[in-house]
């Protein structure tokens, strides 16, 4: 076949703009983002957004910013015309916009009209653009600021309309865009509405930046986040990280509640998301996600925001520094929180109570229980050795509650698994297995840092039969397991022999422990660091070494558990992110019974 000779030609500007619009404006929310960013860059104190049909047929953004003169109005819809980039240095960008693509891209695929009045000017002007065809500025009655209206988005590129989602989904995407920008700029008031409702109505926040941000985050993310957020404020070299991260027990099924900002710009960066995930790796199961809003400030030359036309991705000159800053700052804040668990745990517990109108309970006298002073058949030191501390002491039920004991004094054990403690203003219910699991885990991590976990030799080494693949995985990690106090060797093609176990685990189920470790190693990402792998294995071993459900405890043992929880960081949640205790205030209990 004879090749067809084609002449190379320049594409017409209108077609070029439509091609570019596909990169910048892929849905109505993207247009909202670009226009709201323009309003913020213009120094607006208030931004109002209106959408109809999810932004398909109409959207507008109105601000009270600096406005534009007629000449600027004509220039703003030219491709790569901008007032925000000083000089030619793309590494020193101090505004949200800088590429000069938003307005010409929107105008190329819609019917666009702009009304504006420069601050202090006596006249207002309007300009219309339809499918890339630009009109002339016309005088109009309008106040100071700018209003941009977009009608029939993508009418000039109808194929794009087929890829839009439902009206509700597009409206929700626009809400997310406005809320993210509002979080970064609490000093600005925002509204977003359609013909029926105004789901976003945010007033300007007062006070210093950290307090104003918390007020704005509370308005967007809810009161629960503000009540359970830990303050983040850390600096490493030239990078400064601020914001708020929620307690691990306030977590979500998806990562949609993770808000990350770089120099005031909302971003969705894999490095930052990975660092956030790594900071919570000790506290959350793999299918749960932390909740946080983090604001990273660093010199403009240390970050490249010119990665993608949407400006949602960034690159850091020193990515290791940024990751270390985020992980270290969040872990420090979580350690400072001590045994604290989120208030949502108690709220969820109260919500689980269902009052009934007819209670037909037949009273049965409880079976006699041995007195607390008799103990068990085994000596307490052997039965509950990990919790024996010199400061542990028995408290009779009528003993006063020490003011420095926030988890109160033990009063009972329910179903041989839940410790009930009385506090000065309520009660606490502790899951003894989950709580002790966290205590053992933290002890193992501390022992690792101090030079290694103490071991106890088995009188009779135990042989564990396993599939060959599991044996290979365990033997490949044998040096790491030895650091944790578990010494094992090959014992034929399908077995390992265990000679030493961590002393912290006491009389552990060696067979179950080794099998669980083999499964855990099969799931671990081979790219994980040695420390991350050790922490994951520690968690599995701690589960086997913790006090089991169904074990009767004395008052001394229950109080020793409470005191160690108070003294141990992160004890408010187990190794899988579940709460270790529930606190109910007396006022809440009284409401259940109609006393308030």
Q: Can you give the three-state secondary structure of 513-572, one letter per residue?
A: HHHHHHHHHHHCCCCCCHHHHHHHHHHHHHHHHCCCCCCCCCHHHHHHHHHHHHHCCCCC
pLDDT for the residue numbered 62: 96
Burial class of residue 241 (count of CB atoms within 10 Å of its CB; 0-12, 13-18, 19+): buried
Q: Which residue, among 380, 345, 389, 241, has the nearest Cα to 584 in the 3D structure? A: 345
CA 320/CA 328 separation, integer angstroms: 12
Predicted confidence band of residue 15 (pLDDT cuts 50, 70, 90): low
Q: Which residue, among 552, 548, 562, has the nearest Cα to 414 in the 3D structure? A: 552
Sign of CA dihedral 184, 187, 188, 193: positive
pLDDT for the residue numbered 577: 73
- DSSP letter (8 states) at residue 579: B
At 210, give phi and psi (nearest 5°): -65, -45
CA 270/CA 308 separation, integer angstroms: 14
CA 276/CA 268 separation, integer angstroms: 12
CA 448/CA 165 separation, integer angstroms: 51
Q: What percent of the chain has pLDDT over 70?
A: 77
**Residues 531-548: pLDDT tens digits?**
555 565 666 666 665 556
pLDDT for the residue numbered 385: 45
CB neighbours of residue 173 within 10 Å: 19
Q: Which residue, among 118, 259, 67, has the nearest Cα to 178 in the 3D structure? A: 259
Average pLDDT, the chain: 80
pLDDT for the residue numbered 366: 46
Q: Between 345 and 433, where is the model more confident?
A: 433
29, 174 Cβ separation under 8 angstroms:
yes
pLDDT for the residue numbered 398: 53
Predicted confidence band of residue 111 (pLDDT cuts 50, 70, 90): very high
Summarize the confidence of residues 366-394 as an average pLDDT.
41
Predicted confidence band of residue 65 (pLDDT cuts 50, 70, 90): very high
CA 124/CA 113 separation, integer angstroms: 13
pLDDT for the residue numbered 501: 85
**pLDDT above 80 (res 63):** yes
Predicted confidence band of residue 377 (pLDDT cuts 50, 70, 90): very low
C-alpha separations of 425 from 253, 370, 584 in Å: 32, 29, 9
**pLDDT above 70 (res 360):** no
Angle 444-446-448 (CA atoms, 0-180°, nearest 5)? 70
Q: How far is CA 494 from the centre of its chain?
A: 42
574, 438 Cβ separation under 8 angstroms:
yes
SS3 101: coil
Q: How far is CA 8 from the centre of its chain?
A: 51
Predicted confidence band of residue 93 (pLDDT cuts 50, 70, 90): low
Write down all domains in the chain, each with its CATH number in brackets. 13-85+92-202 (3.30.565.10), 209-336 (3.30.230.10), 344-352+377-596 (3.30.1370.100)
Indicate the range of 226-230, 333-337, 341-345, 554-558 predicted with least confidence.
341-345
Summarize the confidence of residues 349-354 as an average pLDDT.
65
CA 432/CA 419 separation, integer angstroms: 7
pTM for the model stands at 0.71
**Residues 280-326: pLDDT tens digits?**
877 887 778 899 999 999 988 888 876 666 667 788 889 899 999 99
List Cβ neighbours of 279 (8 Å cut-off, separation of 6 or more): 245, 290, 326, 327, 329, 330, 331, 334
**Residues 457-510: pLDDT tens digits?**
888 888 999 898 888 888 888 887 887 788 889 988 889 999 988 876 777 778
**Residues 396-408: pLDDT tens digits?**
555 567 777 888 8
Task: Extract the tokens encoding 535.
Answer: 């922490």
pLDDT for the residue numbered 251: 85
């Amino acid at each position: 076949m004879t090749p067809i000779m084609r002449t190379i030609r320049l594409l017409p500007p209108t077609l070029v703009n439509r091609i570019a619009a596909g990169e910048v404006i892929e849905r109505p929310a993207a247009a909202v983002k670009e226009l709201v960013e323009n309003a913020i860059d213009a120094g607006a104190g208030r931004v109002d957004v209106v959408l109809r049909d999810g932004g398909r047929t109409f959207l507008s953004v109105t601000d009270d910013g600096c406005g534009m003169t007629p000449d600027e109005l004509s220039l703003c819809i030219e491709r790569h015309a901008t007032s925000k980039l000083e000089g030619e240095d793309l590494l020193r960008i101090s505004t949200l916009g800088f590429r000069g693509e938003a307005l010409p891209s929107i105008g190329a695929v819609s019917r666009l009209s702009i009304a504006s009045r420069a601050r202090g000017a006596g006249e207002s002007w309007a300009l219309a653009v339809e499918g890339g065809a630009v009109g002339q500025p016309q005088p109009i009655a309008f106040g100071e600021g700018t209003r941009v209206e977009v009608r029939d988005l993508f009418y000039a590129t109808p194929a794009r309309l087929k890829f839009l989602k439902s009206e509700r989904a597009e409206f929700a995407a626009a809400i997310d865009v406005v809320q993210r920008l509002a979080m970064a700029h609490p000093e600005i008031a925002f509204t977003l509405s359609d013909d029926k409702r105004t789901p976003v109505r945010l007033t300007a926040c007062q006070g210093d930046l950290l307090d104003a941000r918390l007020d704005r985050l509370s308005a967007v993310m809810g009161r629960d986040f503000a009540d359970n957020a830990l303050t983040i404020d850390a600096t490493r070299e030239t990078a400064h990280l601020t914001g708020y991260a929620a307690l691990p027990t306030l977590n979500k099924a998806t990562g949609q509640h993770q808000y990350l900002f770089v120099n005031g710009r909302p971003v969705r960066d894999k490095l930052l998301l990975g660092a956030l995930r790594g900071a919570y790796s000790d506290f959350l199961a793999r299918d749960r996600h932390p909740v946080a809003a983090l604001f990273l400030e660093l010199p403009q030359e240390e970050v490249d925001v010119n990665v993608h036309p949407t400006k949602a991705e960034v690159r850091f000159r020193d990515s290791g520094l940024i990751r270390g800053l985020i992980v270290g700052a969040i872990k420090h804040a979580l350690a400072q929180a001590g045994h604290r668990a989120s208030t949502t745990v108690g709220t969820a517990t109260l919500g689980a109570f269902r009052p009934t109108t007819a209670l037909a309970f037949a009273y049965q006298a409880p079976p006699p229980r041995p007195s607390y002073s008799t103990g068990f058949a085994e000596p307490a030191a052997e039965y509950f050795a990990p919790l024996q501390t010199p400061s542990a002491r028995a408290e009779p039920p009528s003993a006063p509650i020490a003011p420095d004991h926030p988890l109160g004094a033990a009063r009972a054990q329910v179903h041989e698994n839940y410790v009930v403690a009385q506090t000065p203003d309520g009660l606490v219910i502790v899951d003894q297995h989950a709580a002790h699991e966290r205590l053992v885990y933290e002890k193992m991590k501390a022992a690792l840092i101090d030079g290694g976990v103490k071991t106890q030799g088995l009188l009779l080494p135990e042989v564990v039969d396993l599939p060959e693949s599991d044996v290979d995985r365990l033997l490949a990690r044998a040096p790491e397991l030895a650091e944790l106090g578990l010494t094992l060797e090959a014992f034929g093609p399908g077995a390992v022999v265990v000679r030493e176990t961590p002393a912290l685990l006491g009389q552990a189920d060696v067979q179950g422990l080794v099998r669980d470790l083999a499964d855990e190693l099969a799931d671990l990402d081979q790219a994980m660091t040695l420390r991350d792998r050790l922490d994951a294995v520690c968690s599995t071993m701690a589960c086997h070494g913790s006090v089991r459900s169904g074990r009767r405890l004395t008052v001394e043992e229950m109080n020793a558990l409470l005191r160690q929880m108070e003294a141990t960081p992160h004890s408010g949640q187990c190794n899988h992110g579940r709460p270790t205790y529930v606190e109910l205030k007396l006022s809440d209990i009284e409401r259940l019974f109609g006393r308030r």
